[in-house]
Amino acid sequence: MIITIGKAHDNDYVADDPQVSRHHARLVSESDGGWFIEDLASTNGTFVNDIQVIRKRVTKSDQIRLGTHYTLSLPALLKAGNDYSEEFAQLKTVYDRYIQEKVRIQSANQFKTRLLQSLPFALPGVIGVVVGFLGKGSPTLFGLSLLITIVAPTIGIYLGAKQAAKIPMQLQALANQFKIDYVCPKCGTFLGEIPWESLLNRKQCPVSSCKAKWAKEAGQ
């Protein structure tokens, strides 16, 4: 990948300054992911940390200067070249967390729902044993145990249904947040429920006005 720098408007990064040559310098990516600044025989020279250079490896912390005063940084140059690979890389965590949370919500709620629905059915059995022990045919206790036998499962089914209804609500909230977070770092378009690795293979944003590069093209 090459990002051209200069006063002329056909450059990737246009530096409008009298000290800057029409085609002043260029930034070239290396296969290891590093960047080199190259002076293109400019009139006033290219400097890295105040030292004039012809070709020099640069990092984020270096100060690049064209002529005596026009300064620019590596991140600003990369944006001009549409390189959003670093921001895009962070979306992997967003996608992975979304999937993990989705599974967690579904399994946790399913467990609670089943528990609420099945426990009341076990309860009358226990009560029956206790009544059988203590009551010895007492009509009051028999009536009470009969009532619990009918009422407990009804409450259980009701609570279980309420618990089950929480799943779509929690999933909806999760999906809403995902739509805000899982977007193209440049144009903000939602990327859909597509695995991060699949998007990485596409290498750039499909929105025609955006074309942000999601993956570095090594060795160009």
If binding is defined by CB under 5 A, does position 184 make contact with Zn ion? yes
Apex CA 83: angle with CA 93 and CA 74, to 5°? Answer: 110
Choice between 7 and 186, CB closer to Zn ion: 186
Nearest to 108 by CA among 119, 100, 120: 100
Minimum CB distance to Zn ion, residue 209 (Å)? 8
Contacting Zn ion within 188-207 (CB under 5 A): 205, 207
Count of residues binding Zn ion (CB under 5 A)? 7
CA dihedral 97, 102, 106, 111 (to 10 degrees): 10
**Strands 13-14 and 2-6, sheet pairing:** parallel
Choice between 94 and 146, CB closer to Zn ion: 94
Which of 103, 187, 194, 218 binds Zn ion (CB under 5 A)? It is: 187
User: CA-CA distance, 113 to 156, in Å (whole number)?
Assistant: 9
Minimum CB distance to Zn ion, residue 79 (Å)? 13
Minimum CB distance to Zn ion, residue 207 (Å)? 5
User: CA-CA distance, 19 to 4, in Å (whole number)?
Assistant: 16
Site residues, Zn ion (CB under 5 A): 184, 186-187, 205, 207, 210, 212
